[in-house]
Amino acid sequence: MPDQDERRAELAANLGRVRRRIADACAAAGRARDEVTLVAVTKTYPAQDVLHLAGLGVGDVGENRDQEAAPKATQVSAAGVDVRWHFVGQLQRNKCRSVAGYADLVHSVDSVRLAMALGDAAAQRRESPLDVLVQVSIDGDPARGGARQGGPPDTDLDQVAEAVAAAESLRLSGVMTVAPVDWDPGAAFERLAGIAERLRVNYPTATLISAGMSADVESAVEFGATHVRIGSALLGNRPALR
C-alpha cells in the first residue's frame, strides 16, 4: 500500500506541472486560462487518487470504462466529495443506463443508435438533461470510434448531432476527438475546430471542444480546446489493463 502522504505530494507536483503547461499554452494562444478545463483521467487508478485530486482543487474527473467508473463514482460520493464525472471512453449501448446515472458529460457519442439508447437511459435515470459531445473521427478509422461527415447513416456526423439534439433528455454540448497517431496533432485539432464552428451554426449550445491529452495539450489549446483530458502526465504511467 503506497504511503498516501507521498502519493498526494506526487499528485500535487504533477498537477502543478500540468497546470503550468495549460497556462503557458493559453498565454501563447492569446486565450484566458479559465477557458480550458482540466479533466483528470483516472482510469486504472483508485478512488483515493480522485479524493487526493479533489482536495488539490481538481473538479473534473474522466473515466474510460463503466465497470471501473461506476463503483469509483459511488466511493467518491460516499466520501462526501463532489466532482464532475466525464465518461471519455467508447460507450456500449448496454452501458448507457449505468453511465447516465453518474456521468455529467459524455464525450463519446458517435452513432445515432447510441444517441437514442443514451437518451432513453437518461430519461429514466436523470431529472436534468445529460450533456453530450459528439465524438468526431478525423481520419475515418473505425477502430477508434467517431462519427464522420459523409459517413454511413448511423455514424454520419450531422445525423448523430441531430439525434442528440432531438433527445429531450440530452443536451448537445460540442465535439470531441482523439488525434490519430500518424497525424500531426495540430492538423487534427485544426480540423476539429472547423467542424465545431460549422456545428455551432445549427446548434448554438455546442460550444465545447474536448481535445488533447498528455502529449499534445499545447496543440489542442492552440486550436480552441475547452477541455483537455490528462492522464499519465498527472497520475503516472498506467498499469496494463486486464
Q: Has residue 145 got a pLDDT over 50?
A: yes
The mean of the pLDDT values for the chain is 95
User: What is the model's pLDDT at position 2?
Assistant: 63
Rounded distance, CA 90 to CA 83, Å?
A: 21
Mean of pLDDT values over 113-121? 98
Q: Has residue 73 got a pLDDT over 50?
A: yes
User: DSSP secondary-structure letter at 227?
Assistant: E
Residue 116's pLDDT band, with cuts at 50, 70 and 90, is very high
Spatial CA neighbour of 108 closest among 69, 159, 164, 67: 164
User: What is the model's pLDDT at position 48?
Assistant: 97
CATH code for the domain defined by 4-235: 3.20.20.10
Percent of the chain with pLDDT over 90: 91
Q: Has residue 141 got a pLDDT over 90?
A: no
User: What is the model's pLDDT at position 239?
Assistant: 59
Q: Has residue 47 got a pLDDT over 60?
A: yes
Residue 144's pLDDT band, with cuts at 50, 70 and 90, is confident
Q: Has residue 61 got a pLDDT over 80?
A: yes
User: What is the model's pLDDT at position 238?
Assistant: 67
Locate 95 and state its grid cell. 452501458
Q: Has residue 242 got a pLDDT over 50?
A: no
Mean of pLDDT values over 66-93? 97
Q: Check residues 175 and 141 and name the one with the higher pLDDT.
A: 175
Task: Enumerate the domain spans of the chain.
Answer: 4-235
Spatial CA neighbour of 90 closest among 106, 68, 113, 69: 106
Q: Check residues 237 and 185 and name the one with the higher pLDDT.
A: 185
Q: Dump pLDDT digits (tens) for 183-234.
A: 999 999 999 999 999 999 999 999 999 999 999 999 999 999 999 999 999 9
User: What is the model's pLDDT at position 140?
Assistant: 83
Residue 156's pLDDT band, with cuts at 50, 70 and 90, is very high
Write phi, then psi, for 188 (nearest 5 degrees).
-65, -45
Least confident of 4-18, 97-111, 140-154, 203-217: 140-154
User: What is the model's pLDDT at position 106?
Assistant: 98
Q: How many angstroms separate the Cα of 188 from the Cα of each of 28, 122, 140, 184, 224?
A: 19, 31, 12, 7, 12
